[in-house]
Structure 1
């Protein structure tokens, strides 16, 4: 289980705006900003639901591929995440849809954030039509 993660971004305010918009459909919001006097001059902020667990900083941009998948409760949330992330400046890296090569009920969407990190929303629940 992951308690929290932190990674570096190149333009802090741009990334804060991107994640605030992209995560809203998943009920993940910006919850905390570390006072700059406690960070050595870096901007640090945390997003989460009941507590901050997804942190970004401009201290040192993360280099190389980073893939983060966030759990969605419904296919509609995956769709909304994708639309919000694209509208916030993300780039398509896999439109919402089933990914049966992972498993029968895998439904995900992938976007590249402003630093080209692969951010995914995934639902592991069968579509509503299968549930009736």
Structure 2
């Protein structure tokens, strides 16, 4: 469905450290990083699309996180959701909702919500029923 998703950041090096940590915890691979531009993009292992890209705003104006916008990353398990959430907070993110079941979405929706250091809202979620992975 998606080719790529771009989000803007104010401090590229800070954002790169944050996203490197979170993406690594999910097994998402860095595809490119051009500090001089600056931008970086990640994709799922073995693929080329979709891409998730961070960059400074193209128009040169200040970054503003969107109200009501969120990017959600798939996790392989509840344990991966918890680990990614902890890494996000340890890397400068802020909590928007701790890991847990969200049955209002569906019975196996296990997610965590946080913001990156620039205020962009993110989610890590597992949709996989795994009673052994509590």
Could you say which TM-score interval applies, normalised by the shorter chain? 0.7 to 0.9
> Are 1:105 and 2:111 an aligned pair?
no
TM-score by length of 1: 0.85
What SS does the corresponding residue of 1:109 show, helix, strand or coil?
strand
Q: Cα offset for 1:34? A: 4.3
**Residues 117-132 of structure 1: pairs in structure 2 closer than 5 A:** 117-129=120-132
Aligned-residue Cα RMSD (Å) equals: 1.9
The structure 1 segments of at least 4 consecutive aligned residues displaced by more than 4 Å after TM superposition are none
**Aligned partners of 1:43 and 1:59 also within 8 Å:** no
The 1:96/1:118 distance shift into structure 2, 3 A limit, reads same
1:54 alignment partner in structure 2:
52
**Aligned partners of 2:65 and 2:119 also within 8 Å:** no
Q: What is the number of residues matched between the two proteins?
A: 125
2:15 alignment partner in structure 1:
15
Distance 2:24 2:17 in 1: 11
After superposition, what is the alpha-carbon deviation per residue over 1:75-105, rounded to whole angstroms, capped at 9, x for unaligned? 1110111011011010011100000011111
Q: Cα offset for 1:29? A: 3.0
**Residues 82-97 of structure 1: pairs in structure 2 closer than 5 A:** 82-97=85-100
Choose from 69, 73, 85 the match for 2:72: 69
What SS does the corresponding residue of 1:126 show, helix, strand or coil?
coil
1:39 alignment partner in structure 2:
none
1:33 alignment partner in structure 2:
33
Moved more, 55-64 or 25-34: 55-64
TM-score by length of 2: 0.84
